[in-house]
Amino acid sequence: MRALIVYESMYGNTRKIAEAVARGLGDGSEVQVVPVGDAAEVDPSDWDLLIVGGPTHAHGMTRGTSRDAAAEAAAKPGSGLTMEPAADAGGLREWLDSLGRRAGNAAAFDTRIDAAAFLTGRASKGIGRKLEHSGFTLVAEPESFLVTSHNELVADEEERARAWGGRLASGVGGRPASPGPVAD
Ligand SMILES: Cc1cc2nc3c(=O)[nH]c(=O)nc-3n(C[C@H](O)[C@H](O)[C@H](O)COP(=O)(O)O)c2cc1C
């Protein structure tokens, strides 16, 4: 199976989850993990499975203003937060809006604060909706991976992401290959 993982990450947690999902897809899969800032260089229709994940900001996907707020929070003395090198290279919302009509198998995940989802919101819902709007078929329910209020991954979330990747691989392994892009 060939899988493309496109992620957005300000502080590195979503990148770590993306890398754990990639490990879970298994040795039998060809996997490319790409920060959203580099996603314009790959064709997301060219894979058996597209997996897209990003941080939850203000109950949904990031926006320019929330990314600025994330950078300001990291710049505060003693924040303990380190910005990812490509954190200022654009967001998933903008990339997903640029996709146009596509087809293929996809899955969505987010990272969010460890609290009830109705309080925190979930970026993966919006990511999934935009993927479906572009014509992708979601092969799994959007999934959340949890961080503490100090922006550290909750214990065992990388292992849970690896297991989620394994389930995606076994689910998509039996599906027909992506039919490729469709015309409007
Ligand atoms: C500006 C901003 C807004 C946020 N809003 C939310 C929110 O509404 N719900 C939530 O669960 N987490 C929220 N968070 C926490 C992020 O979800 C968390 O920082 C992110 O999952 C960490 O992923 P990253 O390390 O890949 O950036 C917010 C963080 C920032 C910086």
pLDDT tens, residue by residue, 69-88: 999 999 999 999 999 998 88
pLDDT of 175 higher than 80: no
Residue range 8-55, pLDDT digits in tens:
999 999 999 999 999 999 888 899 999 999 999 999 988 999 999 999
Which CATH number is associated with domain 2-173?
A: 3.40.50.360
In the predicted model, what is the mean pLDDT of residues 120-133?
98
Minimum CA distance residue for ligand 1 atom 5: 57
The pLDDT value given to residue 86: 84
Q: Note the pTM of the prediction, 2 decimals.
A: 0.95
Number of CB atoms found within 10 A of residue 180's CB: 11
Average pLDDT, stretch 53-58?
Answer: 98
Domain ranges of the chain: 2-173
Q: Which of 93, 111, 158 to mutate to test the pocket of ligand 1 (most atoms within 8 A of CB)?
A: 111
Q: How far is the CA of 139 from the centre of ligand 1 (A)?
A: 25
